[in-house]
Amino acid sequence: MMTSTPPAIDPFYAIAISKRAHELKTIGRSVIHMEFGQPSTGAPTAAIAAAHQVLDSDAMGYWESAPLKDRIAQYYSEKHGVAVSPDRIFLTNGASPALVLALHAWFTPGARIAIARPGYVSYRNVTRALSMEPLEIDCGPETRFQLSAKALAAITPAPDGVILSSPANPTGSVIPAEELSAIIDLCRERGIRIISDEIYHGLSYVGPIPSALEMADDAIILNSFSKYYSMAGWRLGWMVVPDDRIEAVRALIGNLFLTPPSLAQHAGLAAFDCTEELAGHIDTYRRNRDLMLEALPKLGLNRIAPPDGAFYIYADIGHLTDDSLSFCKRLLEDTGIATAPGMDFDPVNGNRFIRFSFAVSTAEVEEAISRLIPWFARQPTR
């Protein structure tokens, strides 16, 4: 009997950092979790209230909320000025399964998918796990660590697909509207399918951010309640798909994932209208961002990606180390501050980068800075 070896994928190094951070916490160490993009705030108050009510009155089961799909369609109309039929909206167990579905429904093994480097670790690893080829494009300060139409045009032959992310993880950088339009025009000309990961939409410090749907009705959109809505643990996301793949995606979801948690769907519907509370979260992130940007020069970190959105700072520590993983482990053991090594996001140059998440409370940011400044001052330069 013939067997084949599954595609090799890299580990998610921040998970190991987080595991050790939790171990330190169990033995009484004070730990500040800046390793994941996980809001320290809980779900909105009205969302929790809705969940309590459902727990008391509904046995629940496999279910896809039509009211929630209608509300998401309303969101695209109100926020982005585009009409999206609820039939094109699929509810998922967070954005991660949505990425699997998008790749599986539109591409076949061997497909070439362009992604930015640095970029979210799962873009590269999920593409490989599905026996596709990630084409990592080195993106530096000259393009604000983002993909550009020029870089995408230089790939010959044209890739089958491209994953866009704006705001991006790990950098928080945003693709300017005119550049996004140029990328979409190029993809249309070259027949490149667009997957737009818009999970950080709503988390912007530079004004409104366009959806790819505003410029390309056939783009595949991924989004989630984990970030802006502060509901990471509820495992609820959605995707918007073109008309020509509705039945294919429905079949895949039914076989691979069934439905997201019923309780989360009820809570998610309520969360959409918690605008005042969610705006308060943005105010907190903005304050945290300002504190971190003020502190970074005191740490000797002067080369960073522009944190235009999301809640990350991606900083160059190449003057201190060429092993960001060991650096992050040592930082955690010495200070109790958990961070993410750049190796997760860039296997080529990430050995000299570190990512801080400022999605924690302002008090934790202030405490982290008080620990980081003296620790970084003690580190020898290379």
pLDDT for the residue 4: 65
With 0-12 / 13-18 / 19 or more C-beta atoms within 10 angstroms meaning exposed / middle / buried, residue 372 is buried
For residue 315, being part of any structural domain is answered with: yes
pLDDT for the residue 291: 98
Q: Which of 256, 271, 286 is the last residue of a domain?
A: 271
- Same domain for 92 and 33, yes or no, is no
Q: Which of 232, 252, 271 is the last residue of a domain?
A: 271
For residue 231, being part of any structural domain is answered with: yes
> Strand, coil or helix: what is 3?
coil
- Same domain for 236 and 305, yes or no, is no
> Strand, coil or helix: what is 315?
strand
What is the C-alpha to C-alpha distance for residues 303 and 320, in angstroms, rounded to an integer? 13
- Same domain for 245 and 336, yes or no, is no
Q: Which of 271, 299, 328 is the last residue of a domain?
A: 271
For residue 32, being part of any structural domain is answered with: yes
- Pick the closest to residue 367 from 17, 34, 24 (CA basis): 34
User: Could you check whether the bond before residue 157 is cis, i.e. omega within 30 degrees of 0?
Assistant: yes
Convert the pLDDT of each residue in 247-300 to its tens digit.
Answer: 999 999 999 999 999 999 999 999 999 999 999 999 999 999 999 999 999 999
- Same domain for 32 and 102, yes or no, is no
Type of residue at 175: I
- Same domain for 72 and 208, yes or no, is yes
For residue 49, being part of any structural domain is answered with: no
- Same domain for 127 and 227, yes or no, is yes
For residue 3, being part of any structural domain is answered with: no
Q: Give how many domains the chain has, as a whole number.
A: 2
- Same domain for 305 and 220, yes or no, is no
| Structural domain span for residue 259 | 60-271
| Residue burial 331-367, b: 16+ Cβ < 10 Å; e: rest | bbeebbbbbbbbbbbbeebbbbbbbbbbbbebebbeb
User: At 314, which CATH number?
Assistant: 3.40.640.10
- Same domain for 102 and 245, yes or no, is yes
Strand order in the sheet with 353-357: 312-316, 353-357, 340-341
- Same domain for 192 and 310, yes or no, is no
What is the C-alpha to C-alpha distance for residues 108 and 292, in angstroms, rounded to an integer? 43
Tens digit of pLDDT at every position of the chain (382 positions): 555 676 777 888 999 999 999 999 999 999 999 999 889 888 999 999 999 999 988 888 888 999 999 999 999 999 999 999 999 999 999 999 999 999 999 999 999 999 999 999 999 999 999 999 999 999 999 999 999 999 999 999 999 999 999 999 999 999 999 999 999 999 999 999 999 999 999 999 999 999 999 999 999 999 999 999 999 999 999 999 999 999 999 999 999 999 999 999 999 999 999 999 999 999 999 999 999 999 999 999 999 998 999 999 999 999 999 999 999 999 999 999 999 999 999 999 999 999 999 999 999 999 999 999 999 999 999 8
For residue 157, being part of any structural domain is answered with: yes
- Same domain for 93 and 213, yes or no, is yes
For residue 50, being part of any structural domain is answered with: no
| Residue 217: both structure tokens together | 């009705």
For residue 5, being part of any structural domain is answered with: no
What is the C-alpha to C-alpha distance for residues 181 and 253, in angstroms, rounded to an integer? 31
- Same domain for 260 and 316, yes or no, is no
- Same domain for 198 and 342, yes or no, is no
